[in-house]
Amino acid sequence: MQYDLATHMKRTRTGKISLKSGEKSEKVIQLTVLSFVVLTIAAFFFFDFTGFQFKKAIVETAHNLKVMFFMPKLSHFGFGEAIFQVTITLGLAVLSTILGALIAFFLALLAATNLSKEWISRTVRVIVAFIRAVPTVLWVLIFAISAGLGSEAAVVGMLFHSIAYLVKAYSEAFEEVSPGIIESLRATGSSWWHIVKHGIVPSTSTYIMSWTFLRFEINFGVAVAMGAAAGAGGIGFELFMASGFYFDLREVGFITYAILLVAILLEMLSTRLKNRYLPSEK
């Protein structure tokens, strides 16, 4: 233990050393968790349990889950249509992720404190923090006012949040690059773009790919939800129709399995690409 930690320790009169590091943060965390537990328990006392039969609810829930997951079947559209709807949802996710990653990369260069001026970095960070604070569904609904319900509003809304999310992730990765690499390139007379191309990108390519694929998986889940909320179509709209209009639990189960299968395939694809193009992670 280095003596620099002396500011986080307190020597008592008896000569013993008591560690003080993290006491305040631990108390804040404990108080926050305790508050959540108390509020959760208190919320049950405000529920309206009129007519609620606990035993009957458990039996019916078990039956619905059995029908949904053990007897899946398409009733209102065929298997080929299901593949087409999944493709639409994937298209929404791919489009918003690719465009978002490209825009976020250049904005992240401006947001990184080791690559940009302080006032530029702060300005970009404040803007993306505001965008990131607004949920994706609200951005979609905001753009739906001007563009109308449909895939356009869904893509733009998802794009906005993807950019804000990836700017934070990319910029933090850029800032983790060793200062020695940047200083060495500057000492040789390299331009700003040369530093980015030969110093920043090679050092952070692993993080860039990992964060991009993570956002793609998030966007796929969001695209499923936006299919119903924003009328963007895709498998999400079919899930909304099966559950809200037809109340066809067997079709809901089939669609759920389809979404789960696509999510697993995306994770496998992500792992394979990283192992192939980023051998350093092996």
Same domain for 164 and 95: yes
Residues 7 and 110 reside in one and the same domain: no
Looking at the structure, tell me whether residues 89 and 196 fall in a common domain.
yes
- pLDDT band for 174, please (50, 70, 90 cuts): very high
Among candidate residues 207, 211, 128, 215, the one with its CA nearest the CA of residue 164: 128
Quickly count: other Cβ atoms within 10 Å of residue 113's Cβ.
Answer: 14
Q: What is the pTM of this model?
A: 0.77
**CA gap 270, 207 in Å, rounded:** 13
- For residues 38 and 142, membership in a common domain is answered with no
Number of folded domains that form the chain? 2
In a domain, 265, yes or no: yes
Confidence of residue 273 (pLDDT cuts 50, 70, 90): confident
Per-residue pLDDT tens digits for 254-271: 999 999 999 899 888 888
CA angle 126, 129, 134 (to 5 degrees): 135
Mean pLDDT of 104-127: 92
Residue 22 included in any domain: yes
- In this structure, the answer to whether residues 194 and 89 fall within a common structural domain is yes
Query: Are 159 and 108 part of one and the same domain?
Result: yes
**Residues 216/217/218/222 CA torsion (nearest 10 deg):** 90
Is 62 inside any structural domain? Answer: no
Same domain, 193 and 257: yes
Q: What is the mean pLDDT of residues 181-202?
A: 88
* Residue 37 shares a structural domain with residue 83: no
Q: Does residue 212 sit within a domain?
A: yes
Clarify whether residues 142 and 38 are in a common domain. no
Tell me the three state secondary structure of residue 177.
Answer: coil
Residues 124 and 186 in one domain: yes
Contacts of 114 (CB under 8 A, 6+ apart): 174, 175, 177, 179, 182
Q: Which structural domain, as residue segments, surrounds residue 10? A: 3-44
**Residues 260 and 184 both lie in one domain:** yes
